[in-house]
Chains A and B, each alone.
Chain A
Amino acid sequence: MSDTADTGPVLAADGTPLKRSLAKALRVQKIRALLLIAPLLIFVLISFIVPIISMLSRSVENDIVQNTLPETVPLLAAWDASSGELPGEDVYDALARDMVIAVNAKQHTKLATRLNYEQTGIASMFRKSGRTIKKWDPVADAPFKEKFLELHDGWGDIETWKTIQTHSGAITNGYFLNAIDMQKTPDGIQAQPENKQILIKLFIRTLIMSLVIMGSCILLGYPVAWILANLPAAKANLLMILVLLPFWTSLLVRTSAWKVMLQQQGVINDVLVWIGLVDDANRLIIINNQFGTIVAMTHILLPFMILPMYSVMQTINPTYVRAAKSLGATDWTSFWRVYFPQSIPGIGAGSILVFILAIGYYITPEIVGGTKGVFISNRIAYHISSSLNWGLAAALGTILLVVVLILYWAYDKIVGIDNVKLG
């Protein structure tokens, strides 16, 4: 057998190529491993990957106009919006046919909501018109232009038609433009009016506040992690329970507790007034603003900073510091030159964890943030549950995801992801 190995592929004892024999021998193992992870894999696929993909696709999806007005859209495409004249009779006829079907299927209100994001007033126009259109016969009652114009002034407004034409594509960048305070108008891409420009500001605020929260977690968590790692086991366990205690308390309870602490008639203000540091008339405003959000979120995210730091510090042999001291370094120098550099992987891991959690945090800013302390995620939640503009919510979410990925990439470039240890 071995003499054939020089010329061809290596063969197993029975003459089959060794690679194939090996693959065959390992196949059962591989299938077993796959079966073991299959439940989780399927779960993650269904509950995580599919929803994310569907959400991301909503940020560009715009087939509602085409689907609801299948005949109108192609005809309208030929219309020259800059001519200053209304579309021709054929467009109105097509619209009547489409609308009758849509009204009967109750689809016209959805379209109305969609178009209303772009031009306020369209929704009510659709709703009012719907009631009459329902009674029309698309063949017998033609022509429709006059009837539409009688029905609502909006149908005679060139802007309405421009809006429908601009947003009739199956895929749109409109939501993304909205997400960065721009808008897609018939005259091209423009900035939102200044009073509507809040999202970029919100993004920047979210980033800065997450960084501040991360920084305060590092400052507060590092000494605690150090003590945890250096105490004898029995005492360390007790302290560890104190660190983990917040984990076992409901997030909502913890956040509400901060509300009790921080409000103007709350514990902190009462104590300060009682001591005399603060005048009763000028109680501190430390909630419903950025300060409140930072305090509460630092408290809530602190364990995520302490635990990775602790697990890294535990592995740092105390003889390193002893060695540094025996070599003539002061306490500070041996800490800064020898201990601290070895603890950086823990800081890195904790920082990534806290920052990424903070940037998408929702409940705490919602409760203690007021209007000035809310995050971009609160805006996303608003668009999902109140304004029902899921496209914009999806676009905001996508941007958030991309920003986190970019930051992660940058972190990898600067610090190196190998330097992150979670345990």
Chain B
Amino acid sequence: MAEPRSNDAFVEFERVQKSYDGETLVVKDLNLSLPKGEFLTMLGPSGSGKTTCLMMLAGFETATHGEIRLDGKEINNIPPHKRGIGMVFQNYALFPHMTIAENLSFPLEVRKIGKSDREAKVKRALDMVEMGAFGGRRPAQLSGGQQQRIALARALVFEPELVLMDEPLGALDKQLREKMQFEITNLAHSLGITTVYVTHDQTEALTMSDRVAVFDDGRIQQIAPPDQLYEEPDNSFVAQFIGENNTLMGTLKEIKGDQALVELDDGEVIDCKPVNVSQVGERTRVSIRPERVEFNKDRLQQGAHTLKAEVLEFIYMGDIFRTRLRVAGNDEFIVKTRNAPDQVRLEPGTQIDIGWLPQDCRALEA
């Protein structure tokens, strides 16, 4: 996906900073733009500034510096109720003293929409989330998943072009969460609305989004489509935060275009792809995904460097096997293999040689 040009950006953050106490910046120099119809997820550990960004976009926090634009207009000084942004809150925030229908009708009433129009829209929104029969109930009478759908319907009933979601699935159990992930993305795409979704659950981020912005320490560490984020992390933080990763520490020995040689701390040399290291002699953290590690020699590239490894533990997990190895002094080196009929089950104590394709092994900053 091409980086959207600034002039067709629907939502834009430009050099936005935020501080609560005047001493530390919670958001440091945020630049972000997303085109109409995109589903963007802000992912990051707690305290990384992602929720603050969402709140600034919604209007509940003011940016200390910088400009936030919606559809080309600066919205820094527009109060939340005039922004016309739909929002789904973490605890749903359904008004407990109103029925479901009244909850949905509320945004239409404050927009002074006529009664018959209102009823039609409420009905359509309820049908959209398959909750048509629940209009007369109170929020407390619904299950968590049902409340979630109502919160979604309420955020969409006044047909906003932008919807913000603040960890909306956090309170649901795993199965329901997976179902809702699917429903939310489907709904967002079929209605063509732009969505900014905040979560700390990386699976959620990967499965739902068009693009994911990984936040840490008040900055976006990487913003990319899920596959790119997973396979080509830009730095150590992203590599560690998204999915499981094996890391080996070493020193950059030689760099030749897209290929580099890294000397690990125990003297072994491996091939990798340099990402954000360029100086020979620089410390580097080499990162390999557990499912990209290969110990079948036939599948390795000719002349590829291999490492000696000792099998420490074999864990049967049903669909996959998880094998823990000692590699270059690292006892936590994990290999994941598919449970296929011809798959080898490595016995603890076995000595093997492991290797990988150079592009799967990324040399990142230490």
Contact = CB atoms under 8 A, between A and B. Distances in A.
A333 B86 CA distance: 17
A270 to B, nearest CB: 45
A342 B96 contact: yes
A323 B89 contact: yes
B110 A328 contact: yes
A323 B93 contact: yes
Given A327-B158, A328-B81, A337-B106, A322 B96 contact: no
Interface in A358-415: none
Contacts of B60: 322, 325
Contacts of B84: 328
A342 B58 contact: no
A337 B108 CA distance: 13
Contacts of A342: 96-97
B81 A325 contact: yes
A322 B93 contact: yes
Contacts of A323: 87, 89, 93, 95
Nearest to B97: A341
Interface string B61-81: 000000000000000000111
A320 B93 contact: yes
A326 B58 contact: yes
Contacts, number: 66
A75 interface: no
Interface residues of A, number: 19
A338 B79 contact: no
B289 interface: no
Interface in A317-351: 317, 319-320, 322-331, 333-334, 337-338, 341-342
Interface in B66-121: 79-87, 89-91, 93, 95-97, 106-107, 110-111
Contacts of A334: 81
A337 B106 CA distance: 9
A350 to B, nearest CB: 19
Contacts of B155: 326-327
Contacts of B58: 322, 326
B219 interface: no
B1 to A, nearest CB: 29
Interface band, chain B: 20 to 34
Contact of B81 (A320, A329, A337, A338): A329
A319 B97 CA distance: 15
Contact of B80 (A319, A320, A326, A337): A326
B79 A325 contact: yes
A197 B106 CA distance: 55
Nearest to A321: B93
Contacts of B154: 327
Interface string A145-172: 0000000000000000000000000000
A348 to B, nearest CB: 14
A327 B89 contact: no
A120 B195 CA distance: 89
A264 to B, nearest CB: 49
A330 B110 contact: yes
B106 A326 contact: no
A327 B91 contact: no
A317 B93 CA distance: 8
Contact of A327 (B59, B97, B110, B164): B110
Nearest to B107: A327
Interface in A164-188: none
A325 B95 contact: no
A320 B110 contact: no
Contact of A328 (B89, B93, B107, B164): B107
B110 A326 contact: no
A338 B139 CA distance: 14
Contacts of A333: 110
A326 B81 contact: yes
Contacts of B91: 317, 319
Contacts of B82: 328
Contact of A322 (B83, B89, B97, B110): B89
Nearest to B83: A326
A326 B155 CA distance: 9
A80 to B, nearest CB: 69
A322 B95 contact: no
B59 to A, nearest CB: 8
A319 B89 contact: yes
Nearest to B95: A338
A330 B110 CA distance: 8
Contacts of A337: 106
Interface string B17-40: 000000000000000000000000
B104 to A, nearest CB: 10
Contacts of A327: 81, 86-87, 106-107, 110, 154-155, 158
Nearest to A322: B60
Contacts of A317: 91, 93
Given A322-B89, A323-B87, A323-B89, A328 B95 contact: no
A342 to B, nearest CB: 6
Nearest to B104: A327
Contacts of B164: 326
A96 to B, nearest CB: 76
Contacts of B111: 328
B95 A329 contact: no
Nearest to A334: B81
A193 B164 CA distance: 75
A328 B158 CA distance: 9
A333 B97 CA distance: 15
Contacts of A328: 81-82, 84, 107, 110-111, 158
Contacts of A338: 95
B97 A329 contact: no
Contacts of A341: 97
Given A322-B93, A326-B58, 10 more contacts: A322-B87, A325-B59, A326-B83, A326-B87, A326-B164, A327-B154, A327-B155, A328-B107, A333-B110, A342-B96
9 contacts: A320-B95, A325-B80, A326-B59, A326-B80, A327-B87, A327-B107, A328-B82, A328-B111, A329-B81
Interface of B: 58-60, 79-87, 89-91, 93, 95-97, 106-107, 110-111, 154-155, 158, 164
